[in-house]
Amino acid sequence: MAFSGDDTAIDIQDFAGYNQLIITLYRCLNSNQGFQPFFEEFQKQFRCLQGGILGLTHRPIRMIFGWTFGYPEGFEQWFLNSDLPQQDAALLHFSALPPRQFDSLTGCNPEVDILDLVGEKTRAWAEQAGLGDSAGMLVSRSDDSQVVFLANRHRSEGHYTPKELLQMNLLAPHIENAVSLFQTLYQSRTENETLTMALDHVSKPMIVFNELAQVVQCNSAAEAIVVTHPKLFVSGNGESRLRSRSAEFNRKLNDAILTSIFNARHGIQEVITLFDQAGNERIAVCITPLANEQSGSFGALGEIIAFQASSPPDLDKLTQLFDCTQAEARTASHLMQGLTADEIAREEHLSIHTVREYIKSLLAKNGYRRQAELVGALVRALG
């Protein structure tokens, strides 16, 4: 579904909600509550009635694991022991989508009645629940199973909108990452597989740091970067720390990891984003605090995002997501690749005053006080 027009622009409140959702999602990785904290934030942001993350077989479609919210007591057991998954129009629709792509069952069309789309066996339940629309995505698919995320909305809240689907699609890759990690943990708890061991089941480059800022796990995707990158590496000699051969970036990296660990101890969930450059390749390192409050252990989760300087981000998408002009979007595209205001001015043949005005406008339009916050949002949105 293509999104265009001012009615799909994400405002300050939307982005604040999006950032909170990301923080809560990753925090679920070190919690015994499953995805419940994330579901509560998602319900609040998108005014959902019920939904969940469901692990399903292919043919027939049967639920084999999952986490749900908003359903009446006993629903999961009933759903598990029935053939309703095979008859559920929403599950059939979302499981047929490409991965990481949210859609609305009604196509965001207020003229479409969802009761006309559901099967005969589920129509009575949908009518009794007051179902008005359902949004969801295929999280992942393997040879013998698939994971689907869905969120139903009550009729009184109206249909989902293209703008809301746009927001959900920003969350999609993060949901995939978190579910993949949590699914591995969930299915192998009896074997005491930890979060750090689960990282190798995620294709996105990720690193776990312990309370001493040491690397305790660098998954294969991250290892492929740090082994070949001309600057970034993991030190040996028993220290096992993420380092850079650039003294300045090395200091920033060390400070950011330590800050995230301190933030984890104090319950502050702020993501810190840093950039390094080697030739045509720029990398962003996003560091998220990790806290296990029950065990009292703390650490940080690092994600490495690679950019090619010769392949700038989609300017049209930037204008939609950040409610900005094309000129401001060009500035934003440079910011998310780690360029400074001076470097952007030289690249775009503009005065430093003009670039700073563009940055000031981007901050004001999107509700950020500091440039670092804006850059973090840019990387999260388009990285």
Phi, psi dihedral angles at 255 (to 5 degrees): -65, -40
Examine the pLDDT at 3 and tell me if it is beyond 60: no
Same structural domain, 11 and 123: yes
Q: Is residue 177 part of a domain?
A: yes
Confirm if 271 and 287 have CB atoms less than 8 A apart.
yes
- What distances in angstroms separate CA 142 from CA 23, 85, 128, 236, one per listed residue? 27, 18, 34, 36
pLDDT for position 157: 94
Domain with 354 in it: what CATH number? Answer: 1.10.10.10
Distance CA 79, CA 75 (A): 6
pLDDT for position 382: 65
Domain with 105 in it: what CATH number? Answer: 3.30.450.40
Examine the pLDDT at 127 and tell me if it is beyond 70: yes
- Mark which of 258, 284, 308 sits at the end of a domain: 308
Same structural domain, 299 and 328: no
Confirm if 165 and 128 have CB atoms less than 8 A apart.
no
- Mark which of 145, 165, 189 sits at the end of a domain: 189
Distance CA 342, CA 221 (A): 33
Same structural domain, 332 and 280: no
Same structural domain, 31 and 123: yes
Same structural domain, 28 and 176: yes
Distance CA 290, CA 195 (A): 11
Confirm if 42 and 353 have CB atoms less than 8 A apart.
no
pLDDT for position 189: 43
Domain with 205 in it: what CATH number? Answer: 3.30.450.20
Same structural domain, 253 and 179: no
**When comparing pLDDT for 315 and 352, which is higher?**
352
Each residue of 175-216: pLDDT tens digit? 888 888 775 654 444 433 456 566 776 778 889 888 778 888
Same structural domain, 295 and 319: no
Same structural domain, 142 and 39: yes
Domain count, the chain: 3
Q: Is residue 1 part of a domain?
A: no
Mean pLDDT of the chain: 82
Kindly indicate the confidence band of residue 238, based on its pLDDT and cuts at 50, 70 and 90: low
**When comparing pLDDT for 236 and 318, which is higher?**
318
Examine the pLDDT at 2 and tell me if it is beyond 80: no
Range of the domain at 103: 6-189
pLDDT for position 186: 47
pTM of the shown model: 0.58
Each residue of 326-337: pLDDT tens digit? 999 999 988 887
What are the structure tokens assigned to 88, written together?
Answer: 């559920």
Same structural domain, 219 and 298: yes
In 3D space, the residue among 325, 318, 327, 320 whose CA is nearest the CA of residue 375 turns out to be: 318
Each residue of 75-115: pLDDT tens digit? 766 666 666 777 788 988 999 998 889 999 999 999 999 99
Same structural domain, 39 and 141: yes
Give the dihedral of Cα atoms 351, 352, 354, 360; nearest 10 deg. 170
Give the count of beta carbons closer than 10 Å to the beta carbon of residue 356. Answer: 17
Confirm if 305 and 379 have CB atoms less than 8 A apart.
yes
Distance CA 236, CA 234 (A): 7
Residue 255 amino acid letter: D
pLDDT for position 120: 80
Q: What is the mean pLDDT of residues 276-292?
A: 81
Each residue of 319-359: pLDDT tens digit? 888 888 999 999 998 888 778 899 999 999 999 999 999 99
Q: Is residue 60 part of a domain?
A: yes
Same structural domain, 304 and 324: no
Question: Would you call 186 helix, strand, or coil by DSSP?
Answer: helix
Residue 204 amino acid letter: K
Residue 222 amino acid letter: A
Same structural domain, 142 and 17: yes
